[in-house]
């Protein structure tokens, strides 16, 4: 069943990891992408392996593979206290969901929750593919891989918001992986075999900025068994609404 828990708003720590890139690292190859003129839809799914209402939402998210949306499945751990342990959960994902709840004026958080472009989206079941956005993006993004080593890949992003030096914005990075599965041992789904795509395996707040800026990010090492995306979401701090987002499949 769908589950609800009271919401608060812990402060999010702003973290932006600086990296040093040698010429040898640059020689290892890079992938890069630039954002389009229109806003790329950002879909956030808050889910738990112990929640019986979550598998349909997980399956729906999987249908978004190949779409132009940035899709992220945040597995939350606030049901761990009753024994519903989710192996993909992180306290940081719950903090993110609480922030979304506060921006939406919600009295609580729940699973499964789908958030579209920073807003609670309860009628997601009525849609097939995510509706394409004709809204003009309010920031231009260019992201490329600038190096890699045994510990992971290094990325650089140039963010240019509309409004030039006066524009305020914030950003976060995620690494998502497809093709995960679990034999659930507890909760309402005990004994079930669940499949997951777009599982968030790394979430890093990149801080708050004003005007154009360069961001750097070290992603966890890629797992050949689970195709991944490296995602950057730039958003308006006061509302949570994305200014632009993009994903790299490398």
Domain positions in the chain are 3-124+135-248
Question: Given this model, what pLDDT does residue 25 score?
Answer: 36
Helical spans, DSSP H, in the chain: 23-26, 54-62, 91-104
Determine phi and psi for 44, rounding to 5 degrees.
-120, 125
pLDDT digits (tens, 9 = 90+) for 83-105: 778 899 999 999 999 999 999 99
Higher pLDDT, 230 or 79: 230
The answer to whether residue 15 scores a pLDDT higher than 80 is no
The answer to whether residue 19 scores a pLDDT higher than 70 is no
Q: Where does residue 214 rank: exposed (0-12), middle (13-18), buried (19+ CB within 10 A)?
A: exposed
The answer to whether residue 17 scores a pLDDT higher than 70 is no
Both tokens of 7, joined, read 């919401």
What average pLDDT score do residues 133-158 get?
93
The answer to whether residue 10 scores a pLDDT higher than 90 is no
pLDDT digits (tens, 9 = 90+) for 47-71: 999 888 999 999 999 999 998 899 9
What average pLDDT score do residues 177-190 get?
88
Mean model confidence pLDDT for the chain: 86
Higher pLDDT, 81 or 18: 81
64 in Cβ contact with 196 (< 8 Å):
no
Pairing of strands 70-75, 42-47: parallel
Q: What percent of the chain has pLDDT over 90?
A: 68
């Amino acid at each position: 069943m769908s589950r609800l828990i009271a919401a608060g708003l812990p402060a999010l720590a702003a973290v932006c990891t600086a990296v040093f890139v040698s010429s040898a690292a640059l020689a290892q190859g890079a992938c890069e992408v630039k954002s389009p003129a229109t806003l790329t839809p950002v879909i956030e799914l808050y889910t738990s392996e112990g929640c019986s209402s979550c598998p349909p939402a997980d399956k729906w998210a999987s249908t978004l593979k190949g779409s132009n949306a940035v899709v992220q499945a945040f597995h939350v751990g606030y049901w761990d206290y009753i024994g519903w342990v989710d192996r993909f959960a992180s306290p940081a994902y719950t903090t993110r969901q609480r922030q979304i709840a506060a921006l939406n004026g919600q009295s609580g958080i729940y699973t499964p929750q789908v958030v579209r472009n920073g807003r609670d989206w309860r009628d997601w079941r009525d849609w097939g593919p995510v509706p394409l956005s004709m809204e003009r993006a309010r920031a231009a993004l260019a992201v490329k891989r600038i190096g890699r080593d045994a510990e992971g890949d290094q990325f650089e992003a140039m963010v240019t918001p509309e409004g030039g030096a006066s524009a305020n914005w914030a950003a976060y990075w995620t690494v998502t992986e497809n093709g995960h599965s679990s034999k659930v041992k507890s909760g309402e789904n005990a004994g079930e075999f669940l499949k997951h795509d777009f599982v968030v395996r790394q979430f890093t707040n990149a801080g708050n900025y004003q005007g154009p800026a360069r961001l750097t990010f070290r992603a966890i090492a890629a797992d050949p068994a689970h195709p991944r995306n490296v995602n950057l979401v730039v958003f308006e701090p006061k509302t949570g609404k994305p200014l632009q987002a993009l994903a790299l499949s490398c």
